[in-house]
A and B are shown apart, each in its own frame.
Chain A
């Protein structure tokens, strides 16, 4: 069986060239750049408490991660 594989080496159940397989467009902006401030936002934590990014960080450094699944 010939494995359908994209240019990054990943095996693909969807045919190559399928619109659902399109990657991040070249030059696409993904949020603030280095040197810019992250906007303020509020999200619930694991206990359901609403946390505001800038207010509740207690002036600590932070990592804000966007991910699809949690197998790391």
Chain B
């Protein structure tokens, strides 16, 4: 996610060209992030200090960490933390842009600082976007029967909680067990993710929840179920799933979204799949995820 958003930021500021960004995105997956870039991102060293250590490396046959330690720029603990971060593979876009000479490290440092301010990210090092922590969700939901797909369900549930806050400005509560709601007069927004993962996502809501959520998402006061209300709820699901696909893309999955649809549910057997049920003051949001094939590392259906 960080690469896509920071790439957009650089493009928007005219700091890289579309061609350069496209090239950088192409090569970043095979790039190893160096300690200097990680130290700048973490706010532990300036680009000037990194440049100084690089100059020393050319004169002496020593590693970056050793020289930064000698100069007093980094402590042993900090170097260990940076090495751990290096293994996670964040910031590959920045490293690629630096390696290809599209920007010098000093300009990247400045852009990173401005990006953090504009995006409201205050802590250095957090620009690389921490993965979703699903520890709390695992306490509430048991997806163990989903087998290889359990991790997908946990990460989708975590993102859904976040996006309820982000897109609807609502405090969400996850229900530990899916209680079958009255399925008459329910609406279903559906969308498929296809590619390395094949998931059908149904979002089931009653009429009042559709109206309240559609009004909140569109910024319009919607009082009747019409094309605008249904379109808004479909677009909410589309934007939410788009963020999920971006996360999957970061994890190396190649997936695409199909256009969403919204329909009136005829009966409760029409929708199946693993439930993720979230309640807010707007109403109940009943997500159902059905998997077809998991193909990245296995062919489990």
Partners in one complex: no
> Chain A residues in contact with chain B, CB under 8 A?
none
> Chain B residues in contact with chain A, CB under 8 A?
none
